Chain A
Amino acid sequence: MVDFRDRVAAALRARISPKGGVAIKKLANGIGRSAETIRLWLNGDTAIKVEDLAAVARYLKDPTLVAEIFRDLDAATVRKRFLWFTDRGFCNDAPAGHAEFVRRHLGLSPLLPGDGAVYALRNLGWVELTASGTAARLRYHAKGIKRGAAEAARGWLLDHADRIFSLSRAVLVGFEWVEAAELSVARIVAELDLAAPPSAVPLCRSERKPLDLLPSRLGEVLRAWRHAPDDAEAAAHAVRLGGRFSIFAADDAGSVICHRLGQIMRMPRRECEGANLLTWSDPPYAAELRRAVLEAREDGPTHREVRGPIFGPPRHFNRLALPVGDNIVTVTELRRN
């Protein structure tokens, strides 16, 4: 176990008079601590607090102070590590970067324009991971991660779960990135399972339809909304769709927050309610729903037919999205087929 008090003492002694150029009293005044406290640090009698260390480094205008004390956390240990999890279930190091690895793998010239990494995510079904110290960032495509790649990524994450404290991911849905940060390993593992379904499982599809093709019960809700927008919820209850009535808030930046999820919606309520849709663990569906909410905010009432897996199980339903006050509400009606 390293005693950082000795390292702090040595680093400070090198900078404080008589060895260094700064007087104890001047430093003490500069960082708002007593000269006695500085002496305790210099003698290694007291551990320095992180904020005090930062204050000393700032006062001395000497960023090398921190690096000197934590020299074992040097560039070699915190350097970025680029990994590819491939369709064959391998974990490949890509020391020169993800894109370079793909180009080498496919025999493409480095001069050829384009992003080789995104090509692999979209077309090869690989999962990309960048690890830096205790942080890791995953990127994958919403459709068709290869099962082998998902399994390899899953295994790596579980193996490193105790060493990763900051985990983020970006999912490519069409040409749009759906990003979320501060996720748990368990959460990403669940996402990978959803994103790499057996080949027989269909993909989520969403099609905008004319409002006059709404199923009759959603048509009733729309009529009530046209009479008075605030009547939409009561109308949904009247036609037994109250449990499928959800409320969202959207802003100009494109953030969509789920305020309330319909009571009978079979989705992970604790994860979904109160959260930004982009953090949901079913990114393809979250991206679809986000688009629908923003569309309704822009265009007014909209009707979509959605078919495909939603958080796992296959679903087929019509969705009416309506602006009500500052929010967007959605009502869905399952299709019987």
Chain B
Amino acid sequence: MIPYLDDFDASGEREPHRSILSTQVVPSILASLANEGFEVLVSHDLASKAEYNRLHADDPLLTRLPLIEPQYQPTATP
């Protein structure tokens, strides 16, 4: 698991998306979450994610988003 700050890579994005993402969207989200006491960590190891899900299978706070549904897609509108 590594900090999201170290993992986020917008270097391949076109402008103005790169600037908006890296100077506005990501810092705002990280700052908001930090204010709530959260750290955002990233793993690219799906096995660890599967293990995490297994260990927390009974955790009612663990919400699994049905990512296939349109409202959870990045282009979705509220």
Inter-subunit contact A108/B27 (CB<8 Å):
yes
| Contact string against B for A residues 218-238, beta-carbon threshold 8 Å, 1 for contact and 0 otherwise | 000000000000000000000
Inter-subunit contact A203/B12 (CB<8 Å):
yes
Q: How many residues of B contact A (CB 8 A)?
A: 25
Inter-subunit contact B5/A119 (CB<8 Å):
yes
Partner of A114, one of B3, B12, B21, B22: B3
Partner of B15, one of A108, A111, A122, A199: A199
Please name all residues of chain B whose beta carbon is closer than 8 Å to the beta carbon of A108 when the two chains form the complex: 5, 27, 30-31, 34
B18 at the A interface (CB under 8 A): yes
| Contact string against B for A residues 85-122, beta-carbon threshold 8 Å, 1 for contact and 0 otherwise | 00100000000000000000011110111111011001
Contacts A112-B39, A123-B21 given; does A141 touch B30 at CB 8 Å: no
Contacts A109-B31, A123-B21 given; does A116 touch B11 at CB 8 Å: no
Inter-subunit contact B27/A107 (CB<8 Å):
yes
Inter-subunit contact B12/A143 (CB<8 Å):
yes
Contacts A124-B23, A144-B18, A203-B12 given; does A107 touch B6 at CB 8 Å: no
- Write the nearest CB–CB distance from A112 to chain B, whole angstroms: 5
Partner of A113, one of B12, B23, B39: B39
Per the bound structure, the CA–CA distance linking A161 and B2 in Å amounts to: 39
Partner of A141, one of B11, B19, B41: B11
Inter-subunit contact B5/A143 (CB<8 Å):
no
B4 at the A interface (CB under 8 A): yes
| Contact string against B for A residues 125-157, beta-carbon threshold 8 Å, 1 for contact and 0 otherwise | 100000000000000010110000000000000
Query: How many A-B contacts at CB < 8 Å in the complex?
Result: 63
- Write the nearest CB–CB distance from A123 to chain B, whole angstroms: 4
Name which of B3, B4, B27 has the most chain A CB atoms within 10 A of its CB: B27
- Write the nearest CB–CB distance from A97 to chain B, whole angstroms: 15
Closest A residue, CB atoms, query B7: A114
Contacts A106-B23, A123-B22, A124-B23 given; does A116 touch B5 at CB 8 Å: yes
Partner of B3, one of A112, A122, A123, A125: A112
Inter-subunit contact B6/A118 (CB<8 Å):
yes
Inter-subunit contact A111/B8 (CB<8 Å):
no
Partner of B34, one of A109, A115, A141, A199: A109
Inter-subunit contact A122/B5 (CB<8 Å):
no
Inter-subunit contact A123/B11 (CB<8 Å):
yes
- Write the nearest CB–CB distance from A39 to chain B, whole angstroms: 61
Please name all residues of chain A whose beta carbon is closer than 8 Å to the beta carbon of B27 when the two chains form the complex: 106-108
Partner of B5, one of A115, A141, A203: A115
Inter-subunit contact B34/A111 (CB<8 Å):
yes
Inter-subunit contact A112/B6 (CB<8 Å):
no
- Write the nearest CB–CB distance from A141 to chain B, whole angstroms: 6
Shortest beta-carbon contacts, A-B, top 7: A114-B5, A114-B3, A123-B22, A113-B3, A106-B27, A143-B11, A123-B10
8 inter-chain pairs at a CB distance below 8 angstroms, sorted by A residue, are A114-B2, A114-B4, A114-B6, A119-B22, A123-B22, A141-B11, A143-B12, A199-B15
Q: A residues engaging B (CB < 8 A)?
A: 87, 106-109, 111-116, 118-119, 122-125, 141, 143-144, 199, 203
